[in-house]
């Protein structure tokens, strides 16, 4: 294929370019055109090298822009998921800070009760740390290249989020059951 992943230019497209543009294209793709006297020779040399159209050529930019929305979404999904995860982590962190402050500073509870709460929070934090370590070792849904299952879970999460955002009433356990790798239902209700 052509350098950079672009398709090789057709003979007709190259013939439509001027001699100067053909020479620039040859320099860009390191095609030796020192023996080319005629424009047709330049076209032949570029075709033999499978050079693509210049990056700013209208046909090339249109072809790259013609990606389907689905393909663009799949390409952008890792960045989007990472951003969602980071927002969620910030939210969890801030919520935990507030909860810990309220639970441990509750003067209505005895000192002994607050110590028990602190011990329970320590157990909870160890569980969160263990889950974080396990997730780092094996990213959820991505083990063994299982991107299809991850995409289904992502789609399910987006549907639940959109339904809630539009004010649709959801059952108490809605969203707990996630699609499994076969597209069926996994989780507690399976």
* pLDDT, average across residues 170-178: 57
pLDDT for the residue 146 = 59
Burial class (CB in 10 A: 0-12, 13-18, 19+), 98: exposed
* pLDDT, average across residues 163-180: 63
CA angle (100, 85, 182) in 5-degree steps:
120
C-alpha 170/C-alpha 173 separation (Å) is 8
pLDDT for the residue 61 = 62
Each residue's pLDDT tens digit, 90-141: 888 898 889 888 888 888 999 999 999 888 888 888 888 887 777 666 554 4
Each residue's pLDDT tens digit, 13-35: 899 999 999 999 999 999 999 99
Q: Facing residues of 179 across strands?
A: 185
pLDDT for the residue 49 = 93
DSSP state of 184: S
pLDDT for the residue 73 = 74
Least confident range of 36-40, 119-123, 138-142, 173-177: 138-142
Q: What is the pTM of this model?
A: 0.36
Residues 125, 117: contact at Cβ < 8 Å?
no
Each residue's pLDDT tens digit, 62-100: 655 556 777 777 777 777 777 887 888 888 889 888 988
């Amino acid at each position: 294929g052509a350098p950079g992943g672009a398709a090789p230019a057709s003979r007709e497209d190259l013939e439509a370019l001027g001699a100067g543009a053909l020479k620039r294209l040859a320099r860009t793709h390191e095609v030796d055109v020192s023996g080319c006297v005629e424009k047709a020779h330049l076209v032949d040399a570029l075709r033999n090298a499978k050079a693509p159209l210049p990056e700013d050529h209208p046909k090339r930019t249109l072809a790259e822009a013609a990606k389907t929305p689905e393909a663009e979404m799949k390409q952008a999904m890792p960045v989007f998921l990472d951003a969602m995860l980071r927002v969620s982590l910030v939210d969890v962190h801030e919520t935990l800070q507030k909860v810990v402050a309220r639970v441990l500073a509750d003067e209505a509870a005895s000192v002994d009760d607050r110590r028990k709460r602190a011990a329970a929070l320590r157990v909870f934090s160890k569980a969160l740390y263990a889950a974080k370590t396990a997730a780092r070792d094996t990213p959820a849904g991505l083990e063994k290249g299982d991107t299809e299952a991850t995409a289904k879970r992502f789609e399910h999460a987006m549907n639940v989020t959109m339904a809630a955002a539009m004010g649709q009433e959801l059952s108490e356990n809605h969203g707990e059951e996630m699609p499994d790798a076969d597209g069926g239902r996994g989780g507690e209700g399976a």
